[in-house]
Structure 1
Amino acid sequence: MSNTGKPGEGSSDPAGTPEEHKPSSDEAHSAFTPPLGVPYPPVPEEEHPTSEFALPEGLRPETPTEQEGSAFTPPAGTTGQTPVPSPSGSTTAGFAFTPPHGIPIVSLTKEVPWQDRMRTMLRMPIGERPVPERVERTDESGPAVPRVLDLTLRIGEILLAGGEGAEDVEAAMFGVAHAYGLERVEPTVTFTLLSISYQPSLVDDPVTASRTVRRRGVDYNRLSAVFRLVDDITSEGITLEEAYRGLAEIRRNRHPYPSWGLTLASGLLSGGASMLVGGGLLVFIAAAVGSMLGDRLAWLASGRGLPEFYQFVVAAMPPAAMGVAFGLLHANVQASAVITGGLFALIPGRALVAGVQDGLTGYYITAAARLLEVGYLIVGIVVGVLSVLYIGLQLNPGLQRLNPEQALAEYNEPLVQIGASMLLALAFCVLLQQERHTVAFATLNGGVAWVVYGALDNVAGLNAVPATAIAAGLVGLFGQLLSRYRYASALPYVTAAIGPLLPGSSTYFGLLNFAQGNLLDGISSLIKAVSLALAIAVGVNLGSEVARLFLRAPGVELVAGGRRAAKRTRGF
């Protein structure tokens, strides 16, 4: 018996089993195997099955409106300059695609301050930042990356050393780098360290540069000049060489006021502060002389290379010594007002406001470092005043004229106090080395702050802490409006104006109670002083944020998602 296989196949082996032509296991067990004698169907040309979504034959696929690209290629609409074709054939500026959560549309026009433009971009996620407009340079390939990073760090160093907030320093560095064509940049500010990282592309290694701020000084004249330079770089498109020349010119500029003018301003500041708490002409002179002596001693300690802590210790001693001397002589002088006036000139309100502002805007490391610095300086003041008060109380334990409660409770002369507050703000402007055209605005702002505080505290009977916060909020609001009007920093219009609100009397009363051994009363007074200081800082920051939130200049608009800020941690 023989087996019949496929045509042209097969002979059997001696055992009768077709080993060579035995069907495979698939053929043997498949239900679709044709019966014997039926030929197999022809093999199809393409064995790959087609998708059920494939287009039928004869139907031409639509031509895509835009070419497909890499997922890492930024869309053409993100530059703000390249028009994106619409389906109708017209060109519209915008984004080539829209994620489900939406993309904020940012209008970065040059008619608004650069702070608003750059701060808007800093508060956006990195992947959603559009490239701002900048001047196209066809005659050159562009400046070298290391030189741009160096210029950016030098500008940030001056701003940070001058007391500018970390967010504003990063905004300035961000704007300078973008103006010279560096798009993927990330500036970082942490108290004394500045760094910036630039990544040419997603496959290239980043370039990082850093700079350390070794010395800090107060010169708002230089600070304003740097703001104007950044505005020229981001808006006018000046070359890198012109920017370097402008920066060198700023560094060579002398201070607008001589050293003897600063000493005189320190005396006027203490004299004006003593009049706020009820001092007369003799108290004014005594407080001014004590403050000027302390200022000269601090300059001497600085020239000898002593740390700033010891400079505050020696600066706080002469005003306290003048007050104790009047108390020991039993003169008809309010000795407490003399010491309180001296404390007004020493309380580091500028550093306090900057520290709280950094904390409220999310720069916690910088805020913690700045507040720690404020703590050290206040401890220096405490050491200087307490050492003198302790000696005075040992000589005469019954120094009743050092008690400030009577003068602060009974004295209420609005006209005198308004004049004293404006004099205090004017002296602060000189100490901060402000430009002369900003002095009048800051002085008027200080007078307004005291009027608002006096009306809320003395007339409306509001607690001193919320009254101080409201007055400081108006200072921050007016300062931010003036800075936006002049495209400058807000510090020259704010720092001097909060001088009349500083908690000099509460600080002194706490120190006096410590010297007298009344620990509970001293702690209570110092807690009140800390509360007032924090109220000033929070109020200034809140006023600035209100100005940015509700009075946004035309041309800076966030359509989708609103204004970016840090998210709430929700407790974890």
Structure 2
Amino acid sequence: MDTPHPRQVLDLALAIGEILLAEGMSASDLVASLTTVTKAYGIERAFFDVTYTQLSATCVPDLGETPITAFRMVHQRSLDFTRVRALDQLLQDIGQGMPFGDAVATFEALRDAPAPYASGWTTIGDATLGAGVVLLFTTNWRDILLSFLICLAISRLVRLLDAYEVPVLFQQGAGAAVAGLFAATAAELGRRDVWPFVGSTPALLVVGGVVVLVAGITAVGAVLDAIDEFYVTASARMFETLMRTVGIVGGLLLGLRIAEAAGFAMTVRTDAIPLGPFPAQVLGAAMIAYGFALFAYADRTTRLLAATMGVTAWLSYSLAVFVGAGETVSNAIGALAATFISTLIVRHTTVPSFALITAALLPLVPGLALYSGLLMTVGTTADTANVAGGSQGVLSALMVALGIAAGASLGTFLGRPIADRVRTRRRLSDANPIS
């Protein structure tokens, strides 16, 4: 097994790639990771094709021989950053000369390993994320608590629907409908002076519930793939974003219609919601990144680093806004700073870079702007539809997503050479210790 056939090497590389692509790794990083596997086991030239739902690899063992091609379908699975961290460590070990048989055995063990903690903790992570979103805009404890509870319900519902293999479009719609119903109910109970709903802000409850459905994350990944010239994968991810967003808007409108039929209608704000006190913004950004990492089965080290990088992204964004940069440029600067620092940090740890970066960028993603623009386009009623204003909001959200992706791509590009030099210097130091 230590001198494997090229097909065995391709099979191992694609099996690793299937998990990493399903977990959200960009196509560019994925190809770089798979190339590590093939080169480590004697295949100097391998060609990979990434089409989001399928991976393929081709190599020519020797000049004049028949090319060998392998395919693998990519099946969607729940996020598990602990598995990603183990795979990242496996890739490092393979690059440092791990025998092929040991690599296969290690991969099979981590592939079949159970989740590191109970699914209830991922639900709490989702709820923490939603509460963090609301904390960006207000310090009203009622809104934060109610958002936490709404997101608990949404997370459990989506997980239940996923267990029954309900399409993602309807999962998103059901979750958004719950957000709309809960927010409308809270508004009605507040009007009737029922504690603790008095003084709550229903619009923020909708925002917390909708953003936790993560409409904007895939858009950033899609733009990042487009920048890296993986256009097929970028197109697929962008269309997935569109379908998820359609589900969210449709579900929210359905929830509001049901509430209206029950006699407690609520008008959803589609204008910009001002940010709250700056210390609360920083704490909210940390909660968003930490909550997402908890939702994604990350270990404690990854969760803490994710929260730190989320704060870094938000501080950089806020500084850029303070000096007068536009919204798109400010988000790009925040993404660049967080990604650059994350790329340097992961070279000193076993934390996977893309998992850390994904969580760090979450406070910046334009989920709220995208939702507001689409909701304005279709209108909460036929009379309130504003196609021109809504289209402008959607375009602004896409520009922000482009800025975030550009900043993330540039931060990774700038950070990798520095990190690689540091790693090489450390290896030389370990190989030649000073006595």
TM-score per shorter chain, which class?
A: 0.7 to 0.9
The CA deviation at 1:509 is 3.1
Percent identity of equivalent pairs? 29
**Among 275, 279, 293, the residue aligned to 1:415:** 279
User: 1:528 maps to which residue?
Assistant: 396
Asked if 1:483 corresponds to 2:351, the answer is no
- Note the C-alpha offset of 1:215: 2.8
Matched, 1:146 2:7: yes
Could you give the per-residue CA deviations for residues 519-539 of structure 1, whole angstroms, max 9, x where no partner exists? 333323222222222222222
Distance 1:280 1:317, change over 3 A: same
Where does residue 446 of structure 1 map in the other structure? 310
2:186 to 326, 345, 356: 326
Question: 2:245 is aligned with what amino acid?
Answer: I
| Contact 1:453 1:468 (C-alpha < 8 Å) held by counterparts | yes
Q: Which residue of 2 aligns with 1:229?
A: 90
Aligned partner letter, 1:470: I
For the structure 1 residues 342 and 325, does the alpha-carbon distance in structure 2 shift closer, same or farther, using more than 3 Å as the test?
A: same
- Provide the rounded CA distance (Å) in 1 between the counterparts of 2:61 and 2:367: 52
1:477 deviates by: 1.0
The answer to whether the 8 Å contact 2:223/2:402 transfers is yes
**SS, match of residue 56 in structure 2:** strand
Distance 2:108 2:264 in 1: 58
Question: What SS does the aligned partner of 2:347 have?
Answer: helix
Larger radius of gyration: 1
Structure-1-length-normalised TM-score = 0.67
CA distance change for structure 1 residues 527 and 326 in 2, over 3 Å: closer, same or farther?
farther
Name the stretch that deviates more: 323-332 or 223-232. Answer: 323-332
Q: How many residues align?
A: 412
Deviates more, 1:433-442 or 1:391-400: 391-400
Q: In 2, are the aligned partners of 1:353 and 1:540 still within 8 Å (CA)?
A: no
Q: d(CA) in 1 for partners of 2:350 and 2:399?
A: 32
User: Shift of the alpha carbon at 1:388?
Assistant: 2.1
Equivalent position to 2:205, from 328, 335, 338:
338
Counterpart residue identity of residue 167, structure 2: P
Asked if residue 403 in structure 1 is aligned to residue 269 in structure 2, the reply is yes
**1:377 paired residue number:** 244
Question: Aligned Cα RMSD in Å?
Answer: 2.5
Residue of structure 2 in register with 1:387 after alignment = 254
Is 1:273 aligned to 2:133, yes or no? yes
Question: Structure 2 matches for 1:294-373, cutoff 5 A?
Answer: 294-329=154-189, 330=191, 331-373=198-240
Q: Which moved more, 1:197-206 or 1:510-519?
A: 510-519
Task: After TM superposition, give the deviation of residue 463 of structure 1 in Å.
Answer: 2.4
Residues 155-206 of structure 1, C-alpha deviations (whole Å, 9 max, x = no match): 2222212211212222222221221222342232221212222212221111
Letter matched to residue 456 of structure 1:
A
* Greater length-normalized contact order (CA 8 Å, ≥ 6 residues apart): 2
Q: Residue 270 of structure 2 contacts residue 375 of structure 2 at CA under 8 Å; is this kept in 1?
A: no
Distance 1:397 1:554 in 2: 61
The structural deviation recorded for 1:276 is 0.9
* 1:500 has 2:363 as partner: yes
Q: Which residue of 2 aligns with 1:464?
A: 327
CA distance in 2, matches of 1:266, 1:548: 31
Q: Contact 1:509–1:522 (CA<8 Å) still a contact in 2?
A: yes
Gaps of 5+ in 2: 192-197, 425-435
CA displacement, residues 131-171 of structure 1 (integer Å, 9 cap, x when unaligned): xxxxxxxxx98223332222222122222122112122222
Q: Which amino acid aligns with 2:290?
A: L
Q: Distance in 2 between matches of 1:392 and 1:507?
A: 23
Q: Give the equivalent residue in structure 2 for 1:117.
A: none
**Distance apart, 1:310 and its partner CA:** 1.0
Q: Comparing 183-192 with 251-260, which one deviates more in the overlay?
A: 183-192
* Pairwise CA distance, 1:225: 0.8
* C-alpha distance 190-319 of structure 1, shift in aligned 2 (>3 A): same
- Aligned equivalents of 2:72 and 2:228: distance in 1? 23
Change (3 A) 1:332 1:405: farther
Contact 1:327/1:335 (<8 A) preserved: yes
Contact 2:131 2:208 survives alignment (8 Å)? yes
CA–CA separation in structure 2 for the residues paired with 1:508 and 1:357:
21
Residues 1:197 and 2:58 are matched in the alignment: yes
Secondary structure of 1:553 counterpart: helix
Q: Secondary structure at the match of 1:547?
A: helix
Q: Structure 1 residues 405, 309: closer, same or farther in 2, change over 3 A?
A: closer
Alignment equivalent of 2:410, drawn from 542, 564, 567: 542
- Decide whether the 8 Å contact of 1:404 with 1:505 is kept in 2: no
Residue 43 of structure 2 aligns with an amino acid whose one-letter code is L
Q: Distance in 2 between matches of 1:396 and 1:467?
A: 43
3-state SS of the aligned residue for 1:486? Answer: coil
Letter in 1 for 2:336: G
Deviation at 1:283, TM superposition (A): 0.7
Q: State the TM-score, normalizing by the size of structure 2.
A: 0.87
